[in-house]
Amino acid sequence: MKYYIISGETSGDNHASRVISQLKKLDSQAQFRGMGGDQSEAAGQELLIHQKEMAIMGFVEILLSLRKISKNLTLVKNDIKNWKPDIALLVDYPGFNFKIAKYAHQLDIPVHYYISPKVWAWKEGRIKRIKKYVDELYCILPFEKQYFTEKGVHHTYVGNPSKETVNEFLSTNQIQRGNKRIALLPGSRSQEISAALPIMLDALKHFNEYEFWVAQAPGFDTDYYHQFDPNLKLIQNDMYSLLASCDAAIVTSGTATLEAALMNVPQVICYKANFISYLIAKTVLKLEYVSLVNLILGKAVITELLQYDFNPEKIQTELSLLLDNETRKKEIFSDYKSLQNLLGDEKPSKMVADSVWKATN
């Protein structure tokens, strides 16, 4: 069978690669093509476009990149038409993937969507497109089950892929605290890193007894990070090992916040966007929190320092609590345990692969 798979950023690439690996066990003749990253390519996907070409985040940044996005969208559509896949598996990345879902549907290609678009956060009208163009929707957050049921959307809760990957890591590795080490996770896109990393480094000047290590994102070389500090210690493609050895973490909002929580790492969440993008987000987003941890648990478990609150002084205050206040740490660990219970123990990569394989046979 021929599988066309599209993921647009690092976490999506990770989850897509795991589905590819599972599909190869089911289908010895499987062919994979589309857009993805290093992990999907290593798993066996032929990349038409590497996702680093499309790692764009923020309303203004997207507007400035419309020509490139349009060009790549046309490229993918033409490739789908010529390659004639048996099925399309779209992973997150809704701005791009909704357009592909519509096009594939018009060609009578079944569309499966893994990691449901966050229509509960903004642009709820997109539900109509899910109903019209998506044959199977796989959701990964517990509260999405009730949401999509109430909206009349056919869906399957497959569990959380971050929980799956963390559990696999912890089955063969141990968490070792007390190393006087802090993890910095400044994001996987250039605009995220350039906005966040200098502020993080400034805040850590007051923690001389600790060493800090930076999670190096795929697609960025050592020189890119060393422009911020030539002595930075970097960990490449091994974020879980980094988190397992750290006493606390400073994390930009995203999947990494959930992974840090599942690794039982006290953390402070930070994010700073382009000013205009921030104003637009404040207007359109229907969220009380931005981090997945707080969203899933429905309360402010982790401190979120956003926009103007993301400054060295506030990071220092929160980080000191995480490192030195035992009561604060016990509260966080208790909430992390509740989070793990809520997410369950499903195997999403296998469940999605089984469903996709069944749909093609």
Note the pLDDT of residue 185: 95
Note the pLDDT of residue 60: 45
Distance CA 104, CA 244 (A): 42
Mean pLDDT by 10-residue block, N- to C-terminus, for the chain (361 residues)? 93 94 96 95 95 59 62 94 98 92 97 93 88 96 94 95 94 88 90 90 93 89 93 91 96 90 95 58 63 92 89 95 94 96 92 95 84
Note the pLDDT of residue 220: 86
Note the pLDDT of residue 189: 80
Distance CA 186, CA 177 (A): 21
Note the pLDDT of residue 107: 97
Note the pLDDT of residue 281: 52
Note the pLDDT of residue 324: 93
Note the pLDDT of residue 69: 76
Note the pLDDT of residue 19: 97
Q: Which of 33, 34, 42 is nearest to 8 (CA)?
A: 34
Q: CATH 3.40.50.2000 region(s) of the chain?
A: 2-159+346-359, 167-343
Contact, 281 vs 261, CB < 8 A? no
* Beta strand segments in 148-303, E: 156-157, 181-185, 211-216, 233-236, 248-252, 267-271
Note the pLDDT of residue 280: 47
Note the pLDDT of residue 59: 47
Contact, 218 vs 211, CB < 8 A? no
User: What are the backbone angles phi and psi of residue 156, rounded to the nearest 5°?
Assistant: -135, 130
Could you say which of 3.40.50.11890, 2.60.120.620, 3.30.300.30, 3.40.50.2000 is the CATH number of the domain covering 2-159+346-359?
A: 3.40.50.2000
Q: Which residues pair with 157 in a beta bridge?
A: 139
Could you say which of 3.40.50.2000, 3.40.50.300, 3.40.190.10, 3.40.50.970 is the CATH number of the domain covering 167-343?
A: 3.40.50.2000
Cα torsion 241, 313, 292, 102: sign: negative
